[in-house]
Structure 1
Amino acid sequence: MTKNIRLAELHLSNFKGVKSFTLETGGESAKVYGDNATGKTTLFDAFTWLLFDKDSENKKDFEIKTLSKDNKAVSGVDHEVSAVLLIDGKSVELKKVYSEKWTKKRGSAKQVFSGHTTNYHVNGVPVKKKEFAEKVNEIISEDIFKLITSPSYFNEQMMKWQDRLSVLMEIGGAVTDEDVIKQDSSLSKLQSILDERSLDEQKSILAEKRKKITKLLEQFPVRIDEINRSIDDVSDLNHEQLKEELKALESSLMALEDKVRSIRSDAGANRKKRMLQLEGDLQQIMNEYDSKRFQVVNEKKEAYYKAKNDLSQIQNDLSNLITKKEHLTSFLSQIDKERFELREEWSKKYEESFEDHQTDCPTCGQALPEEKIQAAIEKFNLQKSAFLERIADKGKQLGIEYDNKQNELYEVDEKIQLLIMKEKFTTAAVEKLKEDMEQAEASIAPLSDNPMYLAKVEELEKIN
């Protein structure tokens, strides 16, 4: 996505000898004229320093302070550059202030120069250097800015030819190795040589091979010289005499080899017999060791694991009882709630009287005859009595159920307490049995302490 970037204003204050200057373009194209050394380049230096900390020649280490007549930097003033840019018509102000830093040491009344500080502002808001750089890069990258503003940047200031090539390829379109090969028939064999690799990749492979070959070639003279020096001079030897001596040696060697085979045959049989005997002795020692260890440890181990299983069963039973207690407690709480609601309902019904009911005719509004009122009263009393009796029966039933569950809860509580005690004692017993088992295992000396076992192992290793 392209941007329209225009310079509206550029302000310099104490920058490279310019005490104060403002360039106002209003976002329009402008040309700056002047004699040599009148500040034209200084304007461009100020703009590039503001954006990228470099001058127009891409240098970072340049002097921005105003110099005195004896070529010394003027002290005690701030050096400031600011610019107003129009980005797609929207105004953005960038400002950078380079200041001296003076500090007062403890116990001294005099301030001492201790370096420089640079402050950054975007639209009047102080920001950190990183934020300022990110804002500038968001507007335009350094390379693109210099490519379109400095005629010398591409040829003189771009560091690598690869970078310049990349720019040219981006502008004019990339040219692949395949494009070059197609244009020149003499290069057609390159395709099979490259084997789908790029030319640069193939060059890297060949350079590596060349390096290895060069290294080997450097070593060959040294190796040849070593071999020549190790060859004995045999020019004065009698070849016929050597052949006769060689035949005699070969005959003697054959006789010795026959003797060695005979000795090896006898010794091999005896060695195999002794190895079998030693292996049998070692197995017997290990069997006796395992038997003794089993007798000492097994009884302790069985007792320990039985007690551990008992403890797991107790803990499982205890968990089940606690769950049952929670259910019973919840059930009793529900019955209590129902009994309370029944009492409330009974009291409310008990407080009712016939006076609360209508004694006038609902149609004409006249008082009902006495005999009808009497009959209504009797019916009301019978219904009330029956209702109260039903509530009382239900309350009695809930009371019986409550008592039963309460008794069951007492029994569960007793069992829980009993199991807690049992769990405590069983835990102690498990710990004691584990200690006894470990002590029993530790009391048995390892096979490595048995001198007879070690002697037989050593003899077997020597035979092998």
Structure 2
Amino acid sequence: MKNIILKSLELVNFKGIPYAKFDDLNPKENSFFGKNEAGKTTLFNAFLWLLFGKDLNDRKDYEIKPLDSDNKPTKGLNSEVHAVLLINNEEVTISRIYKEKWSRIKGSEEKAFKGHETELIFNSVPVALKEFNLKISEIVKEDVFKLITNPLAFESLKKEEKRAVLVSVVGELTDQELFDSDEEFKTLESKLSNKTLTEYDAQLKASIKKSKEEKEDTPARIDELKRSKIEEVDFELIESQISNKKALITDIDSQIENSGKSVQKVIDANTKVQQEIQKLNFQKSEIEINLRAKAKQECFVDTSSIGALKSKLNNASTMLVNSNNYLDSLKHNISTYESNIKVLEADKADLVLKYNTENAKVFDVEKYSCTCPNCQTKFVYNDEPEKEFNIEKNQKLSKIIEQGNSIKSKIEEYKSQARKVMLGLAESQKDIEKYTSEINSLKEQIQNESNNLQSPKNEEEVYLSLVNDDAQISKLNIEISTLQSKIREVKPADVSELKQQKQALQSEIDTLTEKKASKSVNDNLDKRIEELSSREKELSQVISSLEKEQFIIERFKKVKSESLENSVNKLFKTVKFKLFEEQVNGGLNPTCIALIDGVPFLAANTASQINAGLDIINTLCKANDVTAPIFIDNRESVTELIPTDSQIINLVVSPEHEVLTLIK
């Protein structure tokens, strides 16, 4: 087993502690005494921050620096935590330093604050964050460390997380092991093809619900069918009445047929005349079609030459618009070039003035000369300043010349581009004049062609004139009129009374037929009632069978849950875990409730909670084969701790101790 012991801990400017160092800690038990806000909890936060960069609440981004009178982080300080650990009696030194970053402002002696950076040191060697985290994880995983160093850490987890930790420690009985342990469970397994136990359970619940709903609806449906049955009648009497009325209808149909035969002769004669009229109208229609074509030909005017000229006019107009747009674009480009040249010329003039000013500068001999005390003669005691002056002056002049040449080159380039655009400007102007002239010419031609066209005749007037003058159409009109005079008026026979009698008899037959059909309706209703009664019994059996399977599933879950609870609780001495809650319907809901002598963890007193937490830590240490220092806050509330192999760090509230004091 890996044993981790805190040998020494040093804090520098960490939260409310300016400096504190605790050496040679007892490998078994240590107690830190201090009044409230003396920094007891800060020790644990500092230890966690050293290893993982987080506090007790798993926060990364929180203020660790001391605060000034305005409750703001004090500047000019670095926050540091250093520790020496004994890992299986081998010393490991670890440091984390939260440093301020300052950089000198250009051209000034002052420095500006640029934020913070973290320096990590492992066994006296600075390391990067990734390497540091890897080395810490090799000692102990972060999630495990937090659970085995704080008695209340496990209970602060969500129930799903607590269950996962416990299951990882004891392992869980597999479904297959349970299937093999019981014949009913084995039968259940055979029904899980292509589905999980949870899915099959949901399927059963849905089937039971559907079957119960159908069974509950069945009695009402049977009552409704019984109420729908028709009263029994004398079917032989009805059959006799229907036969008599059908015979009467046959007699009426015969009378109607005889009265209509004389009318049919007139209708047939009229039909023959109408056929002759139709033939003559067809001949007349063919002649009119030919006359319509003749009238259209006489009124036709050829305008194809004008259409061709208008097409050319549209093309020329489009080209004129494009040429004008192109001309505007060229003018804009020339304006841009001229504007750029004007700006560059101004820059060039500024450079000439700058060059003349710089070139006029001379070395100040007086500044670097002295007088001989003996002969009063002036001389330059060192020629280096003049050399430096001339070098600097030549460099500045060369740079000005270089800038001037660059500007000159750009001016020439813009002028060259402007000249090219000017050539295009002249060509574009010629195109505009060309298309304008072409458009005027085409408009004149169109006008002349339009003036030469003859006034078109009215096609409808020409057509009507041709029709009126056609002798064949006049002859056909006379023949059609003669035939139409031969059509005789058809007066239908009055059989309305016979039809009314027939309709009344048919209505009586329909009523009798409906009464006759009631026997078939009642037979079908009786058959359906029998089917529903049979289905009701069948549904009772189906529901019973499905509920039996559901009961087996619930028993399966209960056996599995009891097995898991028993396995978990064997690992603990003072605390027991309730991993499942039974629902009203008998089902089980997964949970994770820690119980201390039957009392929920959070409802127990502080001493019971701490000892229960130590019990959990002992088990987790064995499962992970590691021990680490346990920080026990509010230690004064516990008179006696249960035994543990881990190092104990007691944090005790003591009003008598103004400053945090270690007692080994």
- Do both proteins adopt the same fold according to a TM-score greater than 0.5, normalized to the shorter chain? no
TM-score by length of 2: 0.28
Q: TM-score, normalised by structure 1?
A: 0.40
- Larger RCO: 1 or 2 (CA < 8 Å, sep 6+): 2
